[in-house]
Amino acid sequence: MSALSEEIASCDEKVIVVHGGGSYGHVVARQHGINSNPGPAPASGVAQTRGAMYELNRLVCKTMMEFKLNPYPFSPFDAISRAGKEPVAQWLRGLLKENLTPVTFGDVGLSPGGFKVISGDLIMQELAKILSPERCVFALDVDGVYEENSRVIIPELTPSKIKRMSVQSGGDATGGMKLKLEAAARIATGGTKVSFVSGYRRNEFSKALRGLEFYGTVVRS
């Protein structure tokens, strides 16, 4: 997070940060059977999952502050799901104009049918719909999207090709790489360039952030 914060701080782009649950939220959510499908959940499980996410968010924002990124954390349920498209867009653009970096994260909220997780991938999709950004960058723990049963990176994908792919959902609470690719396809269909890059390769992440050629996978329509 320190490395990525430093790269974000050193570029001239206006950035909104979305982070997932990692070893904080996903672990607790799985323990209590909470996932992206609405369903019953114990109150203690909801509280513990949200507590884990808020603790992670506090650490992320603390790191960002060390690099003068001026984080402005907010819950996706408190903003995106409770307001119209235009008010949210104006609010976020206003924060960016004031030199703040909006930061949101995967969260648990009450929906018809029970509690559910809204993943960082779906938040990216909703933000792209609201703001129509030039690009969205997914920082991963791998170098990009690999060809099936190999370690060969697919340099470019289209939404139609993603629909034909067979991808495992993974072991997290919100669909893993399968959901990321589905979200990327929808974002790219709206005209935004989507990049999949390793968060451990800070130079490649920096290139993707700036819209330069990088080692990883690009999704565009």
Cα separation, 145 vs 138, in Å, equals: 11
Backbone angles phi, psi at 81, to 5 degrees: -80, -5
For the chain, count helices (H), then strands (E). 9, 9
Cα separation, 138 vs 127, in Å, equals: 13
pLDDT above 60: residue 2: yes
Angle at 39 between CA 35 and CA 42, to 5 degrees: 85
Helix (H, G, I), strand (E, B) or coil at 133: coil
pLDDT above 90: residue 154: yes
The 10s digit of each residue's pLDDT in 157-215 is 999 999 988 776 555 544 578 889 999 999 999 999 999 999 999 999 999 999 999 99
Q: What residue type is 65 in one-letter code?
A: M
pLDDT above 90: residue 124: yes
pLDDT above 90: residue 70: yes
* Domain edges within the chain: 2-219
Residue 113's CB is within 10 A of a number of other CB atoms, namely 10
pLDDT above 90: residue 9: yes
* Tokens, residue 54: 């808020």
Strand order of the sheet with strand 17-19? 17-19, 101-105, 71-73
Helix (H, G, I), strand (E, B) or coil at 13: coil
Residue with tokens 């909104």: 16
Residue 83 pLDDT class (50, 70, 90 cuts): low
Please identify, in words, the CATH class of the domain defined by 2-219.
Answer: alpha beta
